[in-house]
Structures are given as C-alpha cells and as structure tokens.
C-alpha cells in the first residue's frame, strides 16, 4: 500500500490552486446562474493565498499541520459560504492523521469522510439539497466500497461518481445556500460547489497517478 508523505499533499494542494485558476470563470458562470456569481472568484482568491502559504511552509509542519494551514487560509480568505465549508473540510480531514509523518492510501477515505462530516455539521445540508454534498456523499460511498489496492482505480471511480453527483444536481431545486432563494428557478442549473468539489478531489487522483507510474 503506497504511503503518502507531506510532499504528496503539498503537490495536491498546488494542483488544486491551478484547478481554481483554470476553472475560475466556469465556476463563476455556474454561480451566476443560481447564486451571486462569485464562486470561482472566491476560490481563486483563497487558493492564491494557499500557494503563498505553501511557498513559506515551515519544514516542521506535518501533514495535519499542512491541512490545517490550507483550511484556515480558505476559511479566512474565501468570501461566501464555500470558504468556511471547504476550510473545515480540509482542517477536519487533516486532523484525522494528526501526528503522522506519512499516511497510507487506506487512510484517505477516513480523512475525506471526516471532512465531509464537518461540511454537513456546519452547513446542515442533506443529500438532494443541491449543494457540494450531492457530489461528495455518493462519491465517498463509492470510495469506501472500493478496493484501495489499486488506488488510481479507486479514486477514478470516486471522482467519476462525484462528477455524476454534480450532474444530478441539475434537475434539483436548491434547499440550502443562496440558490435556495430562487426556489423553482434553481431547477435546470448545476450547483457550482458540486462542480468545484469533484474538480478539487481530482487533484488527489492526479497525485496518485504520479506515484503509481
């Protein structure tokens, strides 16, 4: 079972920052349809600051400390609902492996489950409310049932299920967040957070491909 060190996670967070730049306009366009049109802008501002923090990351910061730094930065810098949600996601995910200098691929589902549980605790949304949870929750179910001895295959099915979950938000009426105010007019549009969520998790998949090859 491949072990993952701090560098793996730092590289993954840097990849997320690239994803936030590349997809900024698309996430903003989606949020323009059912929200206030700032999701991509929010995420790009947050991840630019994350990169600055990673550039100055002290040598003695461990994996949990790195997750905490990323989470706190997003919480502090990202305006909007998604900042505190993604912020606590990363903080809680990292806290699962506090004190470990390396983690196993086997630890990842537990870390991500803890992160998602904190999104649920903070945002009080449920499956079907047309939020990022509609990609995270079904995706995690798939990941938890997957055979992690092939980590790339397991994470591919995780990300694909998240992507499907995001597609499945299109016919839903929003029950949480800003889009809720639109009522039935939110139907027919993709939830922006469900899209950014799978595209961020895809960055872990890319990292796993790198260590497998």
**87 contact choice in ligand ADP, Mg ion, none (CB below 5 to 8 Å, kind-dependent):** none
Helix (H, G, I), strand (E, B), or coil: what is residue 5? strand
Half-sphere exposure of 190 (CA within 13 A, CB side): 20
**198 or 204: CB nearest Mg ion:** 198
User: Tokens 């990363």 identify what position?
Assistant: 90
**115 or 192: CB nearest Mg ion:** 192
Helix (H, G, I), strand (E, B), or coil: what is residue 104? strand
**94 contact choice in ligand ADP, Mg ion, none (CB below 5 to 8 Å, kind-dependent):** none
The nearest distance, CB 10 to ligand ADP, in angstroms, is 24
Catalog residues that contact Mg ion under the rule CB under 5 A. Answer: 31, 35-36, 38-39, 80
The nearest distance, CB 32 to ligand ADP, in angstroms, is 10
The nearest distance, CB 34 to ligand ADP, in angstroms, is 8
| 1, 77, 128, 211 from 110: Cα distances, Å | 16, 26, 23, 20
Enumerate residues 6+ apart whose C-beta is below 8 A from 121: 88
| 26, 85, 90, 96, 196 from 22: Cα distances, Å | 8, 21, 21, 30, 11
The nearest distance, CB 177 to Mg ion, in angstroms, is 8
Catalog residues that contact ligand ADP under the rule CB under 6 A. Answer: 31, 35-36, 38-39, 42, 80-82, 85, 119, 123-125, 131-133, 176-178, 191-194
């Amino acid at each position: 079972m491949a072990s993952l060190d701090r560098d793996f996670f730092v590289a993954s967070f840097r990849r997320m920052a690239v994803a936030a730049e590349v997809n900024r306009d698309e996430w903003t366009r989606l949020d323009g349809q059912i929200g206030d049109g700032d999701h991509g802008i929010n995420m790009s501002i947050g991840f630019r600051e994350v990169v600055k923090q990673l550039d100055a990351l002290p040598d003695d910061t461990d994996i949990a400390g790195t997750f905490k730094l990323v989470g706190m930065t997003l919480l502090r810098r990202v305006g909007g609902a998604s900042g505190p949600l993604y912020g606590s996601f990363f903080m809680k995910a990292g806290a699962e492996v506090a004190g470990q200098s390396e983690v196993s691929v086997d630890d990842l589902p537990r870390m991500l489950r803890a992160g998602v549980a904190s999104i649920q605790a903070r945002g009080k949304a449920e499956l079907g409310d047309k939020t990022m949870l509609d990609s995270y929750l079904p995706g995690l179910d798939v990941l938890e049932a997957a055979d992690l001895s092939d980590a790339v295959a397991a994470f591919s099915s995780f990300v694909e299920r998240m992507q499907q979950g995001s597609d499945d938000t299109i016919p839903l009426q929003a029950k949480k967040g800003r889009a809720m105010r639109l009522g039935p007019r939110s139907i027919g549009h993709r939830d922006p957070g469900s899209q950014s969520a799978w595209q961020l998790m895809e960055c872990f998949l890319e990292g796993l491909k790198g260590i497998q090859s």
